[in-house]
Amino acid sequence: MTNPKVTFKNSLAISIDVYDHYTAKGASSMAITKLGSIPAGGTLSIDTLHAVSYLAITHSGSVSGITTDYYQQFPIASFNITPFDSNYTHTITSDHQLGMEQAFKFIKYITANPLSNTATKFQSIIKNNKSNNFESAVNNYFLGLNNFSKCNVTSWAAMNLWLFNGFSAWQEDTYYLYSVPGSSTAPISEIATASIKVTNSGTTASVTKDNSKVNLAIKKGNIQEASVGNSALSISLSPTWTYVDSTISPSLSGTINSTKVLGTKSKRDLASHSHSSSSSSNNGFSAATITGLSMNAGFILFMVAEKYISYRSKKSAARTAEETKAVNEEFNKNLESITTELKGIKKEVTDIKESINSEETAQESMIKQEMKLDGGANADIEAQAETLMGFENNEILNFQNVQDRLDTSRLKIEESLNEDVMKESQDIQNDIKRSEKIANEEDATLEEINEQENEEETNIENENAEVDVEPMDG
């Protein structure tokens, strides 16, 4: 059988490239092959390399909706191509690009805000759905988020793959990597610096400690020496996002020569920070704890995305009921394994929230602590926390409104939230009141929402839940 021939039409004002992503049976890494480039407004027909192909449409350069930095192979769209498709002509539109940009911002937001309702709800959706409704559950969740309504499971998965297998999103001229103290009285010291630069000429990434400089490579979210075992330093770092100078910025966490380190672009004045203010807080959790939580949750969701892309390709190629059943069972088995890890993340979130002795929500406290340690001004700290709360409230209320509109259609959004957010027997007025109540109780998880429905309803109509605030970008 001849491999399919596919035609792409580029309706964007930017040039795009087409790549084949293929993992051979038994291979430990994915082979990425460039198949061609398409100028703005152009068309290209391509002979695929395999009977079943996963093709990534990318753009190298700045991404207007995100950054002026140079990004290599930023995802624009992705397609599964099989011999059984009914259509082999695809037009790349602005909706494809916007969906990827929103996927980038969504992942960035929930990573930097691991205690937020947006993050914990999304994890619950991943945890509580199987192959028969996984795609619809995730798609309906994004549909209900005003700031991410063009994102879907396909763009979310493709963006995860890009983020954790390349340096573009993590570029900083200098990261200052400090030791993570084992106790509140242990000293903090600068261990090393790192640098990640991406240009149209290529990528340079390195760690420098004392007189040793080691080049880096990244694969599946793990940054190591480019030549493992043959370098002066032993390096294992993971990238994530956190708050630095009032904005969400990249950070690196891991070990250098077995010393635990954590660093951002911000250079600390160690002399002006006491041990207690630098390594712990009155609320009982540290910057390293939050960054570790973000890193773990991010990697687990990356694994889900990776398994989903494989599942999507295999499902596209399945021709019989038996083949489809086998593919679904394999994906469900993978989800069950990952669900165990997500339960661990949920426990971490619960433990952190319980450790906070304050009327503030856990998320507000986290932001204020992180920004204070990095020198944020009081006004900036308060504004950041206030904006986050406005965003969280707005998204919850907007999601409820979408549920009301789609309740009688085949899109059963309540299934994507494990039927805890809304019950069909309630009238619209009760749904709105409940949504307002949930929005005012930011530390509630999905499991807690069901219990809260029986409590006395609180009138919070003057809250800032009705204000549409975009999430901050670093």
| Residue 455 falls inside a structural domain | no
In the predicted model, is pLDDT for residue 167 greater than 60? yes
Which pLDDT does position 347 carry in this prediction? 78
| Residue 74 falls inside a structural domain | yes
Structural domain ending residue among the three candidates 258, 280, 302: 280
Distance CA 76, CA 17 (A): 9
Structural domain ending residue among the three candidates 92, 113, 147: 92
In the predicted model, is pLDDT for residue 455 greater than 60? no
Structural domain ending residue among the three candidates 92, 126, 143: 92
From the list 76, 53, 80, the residue with the least C-alpha distance to 63 is 76
The arithmetic mean of pLDDT across residues 68-76, rounded, is 95
| Residue 47 falls inside a structural domain | yes
Could you give the angle at which helices 134-143 and 117-127 cross, rounded to 10 degrees?
160
| Residue range(s) defining the domain that contains residue 237 | 168-280
Which pLDDT does position 243 carry in this prediction? 80
8 A C-beta contact, residue 51 and residue 81: no
Distance CA 205, CA 225 (A): 10
Tokens of 334: 């993978």
- Spell out the alpha helix ranges (H) of 144-211: 153-163
In the predicted model, is pLDDT for residue 88 greater than 70? yes
| Residue 223 falls inside a structural domain | yes
pLDDT tens figures, 3-35:
999 999 999 999 999 999 988 777 767 789 999
Which pLDDT does position 284 carry in this prediction? 39
Mean pLDDT of the chain: 76
Report the share of the chain in percent with pLDDT over 90. 41
CATH code, domain carrying 18: 2.60.40
Which pLDDT does position 456 carry in this prediction? 38
| Residue 338 falls inside a structural domain | no
8 A C-beta contact, residue 138 and residue 413: no
Which pLDDT does position 286 carry in this prediction? 56
| Residue 344 falls inside a structural domain | no
In the predicted model, is pLDDT for residue 431 greater than 50? no
pLDDT tens figures, 365-399:
656 555 554 445 555 555 555 555 555 444 443 43
Residue 269 and residue 173 share a domain: yes
pLDDT tens figures, 243-302:
876 688 899 999 999 999 988 898 877 765 544 433 334 333 456 666 777 778 888 888
pLDDT tens figures, 343-371:
887 777 777 666 655 545 655 665 655 55
The arithmetic mean of pLDDT across residues 160-169, rounded, is 94
Residue 175 and residue 82 share a domain: no
| Residue 469 falls inside a structural domain | no
| Residue 421 falls inside a structural domain | no
CATH code, domain carrying 261: 2.30.31
Residue 266 and residue 172 share a domain: yes
Q: Would you place residue 312 in the very low, low, confident or very high pLDDT band (cuts 50, 70, 90)?
A: confident
C-alpha distance from residue 245 to each of 66, 164, 197, 307, 397 (Å)? 18, 24, 21, 36, 29
8 A C-beta contact, residue 131 and residue 331: yes
- The pTM of this model reads 0.75
How many domains does the chain divide into? 2
| Identity of residue 365 | S
